[in-house]
Every structure is written in structure tokens, then in C-alpha cells.
Amino acid sequence: MRKKPVSAKEVETALYVSTFRAKKGFERMMLHELQRLVTNTRRESECLFCDLYRLSKDPMVFAIHSVWSSRDNWLSREGWKGHPAGLGLLDQCLSAPIDVVAMDEVSEAA
């Protein structure tokens, strides 16, 4: 029997979608820096999962979808700015500030 997934609300997790826009010509460096950031984020005990995506229609736009054990854990480190691994060269790649949106799970209809 397959275990039923636990909803984010049941364990009070926090879900974030962060959007990163690369400067023209910095897409490869941005990808490398984001892969490094995601790899290090996945090692954090407070991070339940973290995945990197690239927008199909715009290769200059990347998104990280991450779920944390609590909002307090995310906020206490000031989001990506306070990442333990540091932002590295990411600041040089950004054409706009990182856009972070907190998401809430929507319950399925019965």
C-alpha cells in the first residue's frame, strides 16, 4: 500500500517560488551558480526539497521551487541573501532583483 503524501498544511511547511532573471550573455554563469545554490540548499536539514527550472519561453529566466520545514527557517536566514553557501557570482548575473513568492497549498476538492 502506498503511503499518502502529507500536505504542507499538516506539517506547517513553507513553499517558495523564486525567479531569477539573467543578464544577456550571463545565462550559462547563472545556470552554474543556481545549480551550486540548489545543490547546497538540498543539503540543509530545514529544506525538504529544492528544484531548479528554466522557463521554456525565455531561457534568461530561471525558477527555484523550494519547500522548507517552516517559514521561520526561511525568514531567519533572509531567504537567498543569507544562504550559508553565499550567492557567489549570482549578483553579477542578475538583470533584476530575485523575486520570491510564498505559496500556500490549495486543498483538493473532496
CATH number, domain containing residue 66:
3.30.70.100
CA distance 54 to 9: 27
Write down the pLDDT at residue 2.
Answer: 38
Check the CA dihedral 14-66-40-3 and report its sign. positive
Asked if residues 63 and 55 have their Cβ atoms less than 8 Å apart, the reply is yes
Q: Is residue 39 part of a domain?
A: yes
Give domain status of residue 108, yes or no: no
pTM of the entire predicted model: 0.82
Count other Cβ atoms within 10 Å, centred on residue 30: 23
Give the residue among 50, 31, 37 at the shortest CA–CA distance from 93: 31
In the structure grid, which three cell numbers stand for residue 110, read together? 473532496
Q: What is the pLDDT along the chain (110 residues), one digit of tens a residue?
A: 433 444 444 557 899 999 999 999 999 999 999 999 999 999 999 999 999 999 999 999 999 999 999 888 888 878 888 888 888 888 899 999 999 999 987 766 55
> Can you give the pLDDT at residue 8?
45
18 lies in which domain range? Answer: 12-103
